[in-house]
Amino acid sequence: MPRGPAGARPRVDGCDDVPALMTRTAHIRAGLVAFAVAALLAGCGGGDDEGGGGEPAGGGGGAPDGEQLFASRCGSCHTLSAAGTDGSVGPDLDDLKPDAARVLTAIETAPGVMPEGLAEGAEAQAIADYVAGAPGAG
């Protein structure tokens, strides 16, 4: 084994690359975290994009419009051809074909990178019913 200056650690082939590998790994992790944060902030739903003040989508006082709610809050992350959305962060709902109960559970529990609080109550139920009844889905 080669020896360096007095007091120096002996050089072991391949070990000098460890700090560089750790740095690359840290950069990869940071990139993945940045991507996840960007996906959450980029609009996987969660905002009142329609400028309303808490009114259900589709007008004041009436039943919420599941299609409009889905398109504005969920469509940037999920593909559902009936709604004309082609998101790629969340599952493709045309392929998954979830029933209303499964959609409602996902809205309530926010699995994976799905943001919390996308919809509650009648709005969540309207989205769930729309997705389950959409052509090509549920």
Alpha-carbon gap, residue 47 to 117, rounded angstroms: 9
pLDDT score, position 46? 47
* All domains of the chain in start order, with CATH: 66-133 (1.10.760.10)
Q: Which of 46, 20, 16 is nearest to 110 (CA)?
A: 46
The 3-state DSSP class for residue 38 equals helix
Element (DSSP H or E) covering residue 28: helix 18-41
In order along its 138 residues, the chain shows pLDDT tens digits of: 555 556 555 555 555 555 555 566 666 776 666 655 555 445 555 444 444 444 444 445 678 999 999 999 999 999 999 999 999 999 999 999 999 999 999 999 999 999 999 999 999 999 999 999 997 655
pLDDT of residue 62: 79
Return the pLDDT at 28: 72
